[in-house]
A and B are shown apart, each in its own frame.
Chain A
């Protein structure tokens, strides 16, 4: 199987996020990491290749810094990588990002295309499904298991409230992968060395005609949310705050 995995670099989970001047994006001086569900998508692609053979191609749409997620993917075992590069990448909405991916892979004929189910920054949960539509392929979302069948694949979709569903579908297809589908691996030293000799292709967003002008929505203002609830913040030493919390829960909330 020939599998494309789409990875996004997002601010690290514990990064202190600050709104940048202009109030439409964040200050970029934070640490970044691969979007969590995308890491699971990569792992699943590597496992499918190990079980059934084939090729794994890692792709990202992002500024120069995003090459890091491709280097990590190559070190973990991806065969080659595609960087759709441009400083405007962070300003693309889900539709424009899917356009960028679709325009970067003509003639590749992947059997499967994986994305994470959503990103930790925008949280659109759209790119995988929009990409499927742009490529004219069937798709399935929030996948927790995947196996080939005589006619295509069988996927296990996560539904709400602890329910699941198996779906039989033809390939080629696009799947959005849920966190927790597998156990992530670490890159080995040998993998990191081998990655240096693996092919990494670059395309520029401009050269493919992808700009924020394709966006179907615009952020007019980004801000720290106002609290909808009055939160009583308890300060002091651990002992003091613990004592005050117990007092509140006992006397005001009357829950203990």
Chain B
């Protein structure tokens, strides 16, 4: 007999990680496709009750609450020990997570301890001949792969942030029942400190209407001047993909992507950015996306409304001229 789908809710000092709602939506869709009940699991400390009450507003069979003081602050070992107990007791068919930094930190360990597989960073699923087929991006989004599990359940899956719509998670007519489970993780081996930010963010890119973002394609820092000209004529903020900030060509607070800022401007103009997954998650919510890149296969064109395949050192000056013409 097939068993239920378990959705593991991630939450912390700043409340429920919004990516968890996406996983709830994914779990609900998977439950329908496989004809399985869907449950959520909330692990944590004193904030467990508030989180459980929030999760119980969604359409689920049960919310499983596992509270223990050793689970706060998060460490991978304590999280794994508690989840091994929950999973062993509930014997699910599938265990779902959002592919957050925290999930990358402990879920490979959890799956390995339970001698099971983890298909990480999936972007979708379908059911074929009663088998779950997951889709993943590979080679930085240049290719996609259909992937299946080998071996026995439970199967572990993490879904890419943004792959499902969190606001599409179905609401419950009456609150989902909350069931308390007992977990007993050991004292943590790691001593984590409080989360902190490096410096006050000088630029709030999330407020910008227009963003010109540059990537490796600009080749040398001296070419930033041309990009600054483009940003100036558009009245745009200048942003960048991670490698540009890693190289120190632009400050870190101008980085868009999973490790930088998440933006949703009216216009996002990507110049010389290939569109690695880590960048796309930070900008694919933009209303209009235009991209200039020399590689017609660049994944950035997957999300762009308008694409120009060409030499950016020719296209950008021409673009500046055209915009100046328009504005004069």
Contact = CB atoms under 8 A, between A and B. Distances in A.
A180 B120 CA distance: 23
A163 B196 contact: yes
A241 interface: yes
Contacts of A170: 189
Interface in A1-42: 11, 13-14, 16-17, 19, 26
A160 B101 contact: yes
B144 A13 contact: no
Contact of B149 (A139, A217, A245, A250): A217
B198 A222 contact: no
Nearest to A122: B138
A225 B302 contact: yes
A14 B274 CA distance: 9
Contact of B307 (A121, A218, A233, A255): A233
A164 B138 contact: no
Given A169-B190, A220-B133, A231-B304, A164 B198 contact: yes
Contacts of A129: 76, 104-106, 108-109, 112
Contacts of B111: 95, 130, 216
Contact of B306 (A123, A169, A248): A248
A122 B277 CA distance: 12
Interface in A161-210: 161-170, 178-180
12 contacts: A133-B113, A139-B76, A140-B76, A163-B197, A180-B242, A216-B150, A217-B119, A232-B306, A232-B307, A241-B310, A253-B288, A256-B210
Given A123-B137, A222-B143, A242 B277 contact: no
Interface stretch (B24-32, B44-52, B164-172, B259-267): B259-267
A124 B120 contact: yes
B197 A164 contact: yes
Contact of B315 (A11, A222, A241, A249): A241
Nearest to B120: A124
A140 B120 CA distance: 18
Nearest to B323: A246
Contact of A159 (B121, B195, B303): B195
Contacts of B33: none
Interface size bucket, A side?
35 or more
Interface in A211-256: 215-225, 227-235, 238-239, 241-243, 245-246, 248-250, 253, 255-256
A241 B316 CA distance: 10
B318 interface: yes
Contact of B139 (A26, A169, A238, A256): A26
Interface in A108-141: 117-118, 120-126, 129-130, 132-134, 138-141
A217 B267 CA distance: 39
Contacts of B216: 13
A218 B150 contact: yes
Contact of A123 (B140, B261, B297, B321): B140
Interface string B231-262: 00010000000110110000011000011111
Q: Which of A93, A157, A256 has the most CB of B within 10 A?
A: A256
Contact of B148 (A126, A218, A227, A255): A218
A216 B193 CA distance: 35
Interface in B179-224: 189-198, 201, 210, 216
A161 B262 contact: yes
B146 A220 contact: yes
Contact of B112 (A134, A140, A158): A134
Given A160-B101, A160-B258, A255 B146 contact: no
B226 interface: no
B117 interface: yes
Nearest to B131: A220
Contact of B319 (A165, A166, A179, A246): A246
A17 B142 contact: yes
Given A220-B147, A225-B144, A255-B288, A125 B121 contact: yes
Given A141-B104, A158-B259, A216-B149, A249 B290 contact: yes
